[in-house]
């Protein structure tokens, strides 16, 4: 079974950071994602998708993301329910993110909101060659929540500490499928 969601959109508001009674950080924000087609009036419709992050990733998102910033979110779709004050069952559908990539530097967002023309470099200028999200100079935060890139350029990307360049010898008997 597979439950995987990948979204790219802009934040509709600043992330809201809270802490559980046990002291675990949780941040919530909404991502505006355009639909890939136009309606009968020729306008694109937008979905507003609630995102939830936990622990260090939540703190990193609250620190670096702001309303209007372009971000990629990877995670899983979750449906939960609770009883409201009137005793009715309320269902909530949200994406629980385990990876968030910041697809543009903060200065690009500030420039876009301060000018009337809004002439930004295309989205591909912020992602690496080949259009892989987050592969370029944009910063990202993974499950560990640490910024993984710098805005200076592709040469500053972190190396995978678990990849020593050697092949991995795994027997078919060791695989769970």
Confidence class for position 3, pLDDT limits 50, 70, 90: very high
φ/ψ (deg, to 5) at 130: 85, -5
Q: Which residues pair with 11 in a beta bridge?
A: 31
What is the Cα–Cα distance from 96 to 85, expressed in whole angstroms? 25
pTM of the model: 0.61
Q: Which CATH superfamily is domain 5-154 in?
A: Nucleic acid-binding proteins (2.40.50.140)
Per-domain boundaries in the chain = 5-154
Structure tokens at 34: 């355009």
With tokens 């309303």, the residue in question is 67
Instruction: State mean pLDDT over 74-84.
Output: 94
Q: Please, what is the average pLDDT of the chain?
A: 75
| Contact present, 127 and 103 (Cβ < 8 Å) | yes
Residue % of the chain over a pLDDT of 90: 51
pLDDT digit string, tens, across residues 137-159: 344 455 444 444 433 333 334 56
**pLDDT tens track for 94-153:** 999 999 999 987 766 555 544 433 443 333 333 332 333 333 334 445 544 444 443 333
Structural contact between residues 100 and 64, judged by C-beta atoms closer than 8 angstroms: no
């Amino acid at each position: 079974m597979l439950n995987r969601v990948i979204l790219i959109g802009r934040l509709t508001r600043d992330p809201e950071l809270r802490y559980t009674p046990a002291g675990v950080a949780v941040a919530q924000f909404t991502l505006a994602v355009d639909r890939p087609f136009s309606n009968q009036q020729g306008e694109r419709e937008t979905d507003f998708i609630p995102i939830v992050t936990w622990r260090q990733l939540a703190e990193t998102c609250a620190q670096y993301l702001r309303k209007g910033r372009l971000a990629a979110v990877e995670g899983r779709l979750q449906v939960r329910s609770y009883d409201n004050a009137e005793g009715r069952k309320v269902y909530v559908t949200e994406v629980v993110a385990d990876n968030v990539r910041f697809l543009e530097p903060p200065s690009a967002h500030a420039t876009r909101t301060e000018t009337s023309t809004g002439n930004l470099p295309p989205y591909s200028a912020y992602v690496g060659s080949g259009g892989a999200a987050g592969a370029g100079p944009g910063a990202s935060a993974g499950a560990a929540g640490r910024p993984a890139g710098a805005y200076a350029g592709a040469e500053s990307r972190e190396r995978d500490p678990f990849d020593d360049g050697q092949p991995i010898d795994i027997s078919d008997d060791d695989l769970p499928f």
